[in-house]
Structure formats: structure tokens, C-alpha cells
Amino acid sequence: ERNSFSFVLSPTIPDGIKLTNADFAKLTNDFLERMKLKGQQYISFLHNDRDHKHLHIFINRIDFNGKAYKDNYISKKTQRIAESIAKERGFTTAKEIQQQKEERLRNQIINAHEKVLPQHPKSI
């Protein structure tokens, strides 16, 4: 049923702009090596949506001997490996982007409170 994997490696737009095709090929190889999928059949596409370069990797889960790659906790493993590669290359990580979004939201809430509280509201 599940005989292949699909991964997307998506640097931020500023990080992606700096990368050459050779850099993206190396990124693919490093990712597959760390995932221990280097010996599997795969195809990788460099895709560009509105200046957002990112990789689509499709890989055969079944090796040449008919043995399936174990996919236990593969999404967590993928996140961990992608984050380590991003940190090594000085890219902005998904975790950092999430923290920035949360900080902006936190600031919006604080600003809204500071704006309303001086009016001494009587109810919510």
C-alpha cells in the first residue's frame, strides 16, 4: 500500500535564493544519507513557487531485495534531520519561524490589552 515516501525540503525564500542547483543536489544527498535512504531509488525535483525554491523528493520505500524501509516515527525523524541540516548551513529553521510568529501574536495581544485597559472596561 505505502511503497513510497514523499518529502519536501523547503528553505525560507531568503535562504533558497542564495542556493545554487548544486547546493540543492547536495541538500538532497545529505538528507537521504542521514535518513539512511541513500541506497533507495529516488527522484528529486527543484520546484519554484513565487521565488520560493524547494525540493520535492519521491523515494521508493522498498529496496532491491523487496524489504520495506521502517517508517516508525518518520515524520519526527524527518523534522529532526531537516532541522539539523538547516542549522549546520545557517538557514532559518521551521522552529525559528514558528517562534517568530508566536512572538508577533503575543505582541499583538499585549498591544490590544494596553490599548483597552486604560478605558477601564466593565466587561469582557
> Which positions of the chain have pLDDT values less than 50?
none
Question: What's the pTM value of the predicted model, to 2 decimals?
Answer: 0.77
Domain ranges of the chain: 4-91
d(CA 46, CA 121): 54
pLDDT for residue 88: 93
pLDDT for residue 35: 95
Q: What sign results for the dihedral spanned by CA atoms 50, 8, 93, 25?
A: negative
Based on the number of CB atoms within 10 Å of its own CB, is 67 exposed (0-12), middle (13-18) or buried (19 or more)? Answer: exposed
At 95-112, the pLDDT tens digits run: 888 999 999 999 999 999
Give the three cell numbers for residue 45: 525535483
**Cα dihedral 107, 110, 116, 119 in deg (nearest 10):** -130
